[in-house]
A and B are shown apart, each in its own frame.
Chain A
Amino acid sequence: QKEVEQDPGPLSVPEGAIVSLNCTYSNSAFQYFMWYRQYSRKGPELLMYTYSSGNKEDGRFTAQVDKSSKYISLFIRDSQPSDSATYLCAMSADTGRRALTFGSGTRLQVQP
């Protein structure tokens, strides 16, 4: 079983739609959960991070963590064509380790 799994997409939605992006993981030691956005041939850009379980909201973005199900989500409200990118989840254990374990990324296309 892969440590972090993410549906590769592509996910195509119309402008204004609510987008749901998800990752599952197998390592119960993961405590920090990050979402990065990556445009083509660019570096990952940090969007949000959460610690342990719960929700976090930042503008149009909401991150959710369900540790009991080992499942994390990123919701994008009122999606825009500029949101078209690959979204990467990343995780790390709370053991002083700093290495991030990434998902394979979901490619999102928001159609105008």
Chain B
Amino acid sequence: EPEVTQTPSHQVTQMGQEVILRCVPISNHLYFYWYRQILGQKVEFLVSFYNNEISEKSEIFDDQFSVERPDGSNFTLKIRSTKLEDSAMYFCASNIRGTAYEQYFGPGTRLTVT
């Protein structure tokens, strides 16, 4: 069964550094999402992306964040200058129709900012 994959599984970085989290969505999916989950807290929506454009973003997704589909298979989340409070699990999700339902999540990347 096709799955969303994410790399790396764990990233440790120093405050102020740039990080890029990578996702390979399910191959025939057209809509892509990033969510994050700070330890012990809820999963929170960051951004949705379709046709090489951001279609929706939350208040969390400020100028420090950017997303890109650099090629036909990858979808990336860049954090320009990481802060301690960016430490979280970051989940990529995708679906075919861009609906709220049937979003399929990857295993996540655990980002630790020191």
Contact = CB atoms under 8 A, between A and B. Distances in A.
Interface in A58-112: 88, 90, 92-94, 97-105
Contacts of B56: 97-99
Contacts, number: 64
A98 B55 contact: yes
Interface in A33-81: 34, 36, 41-46, 49, 51
B45 A32 contact: no
Interface string B66-103: 00000000000000000000000101000000111111
Nearest to B99: A98
Interface string B5-27: 00000000000000000000000
A44 B31 contact: no
B108 A32 contact: no
B52 interface: no
Nearest to A102: B43
- 7 interchain residue pairs of minimum CB distance: A92-B100, A43-B105, A99-B45, A49-B101, A102-B43, A32-B100, A44-B105
27 contacts: A4-B42, A32-B100, A41-B110, A42-B107, A43-B4, A43-B105, A43-B108, A44-B43, A46-B102, A46-B103, A46-B104, A46-B105, A92-B100, A93-B100, A97-B56, A98-B98, A98-B99, A98-B100, A99-B45, A99-B48, A99-B58, A100-B43, A100-B100, A101-B45, A102-B43, A104-B42, A105-B42
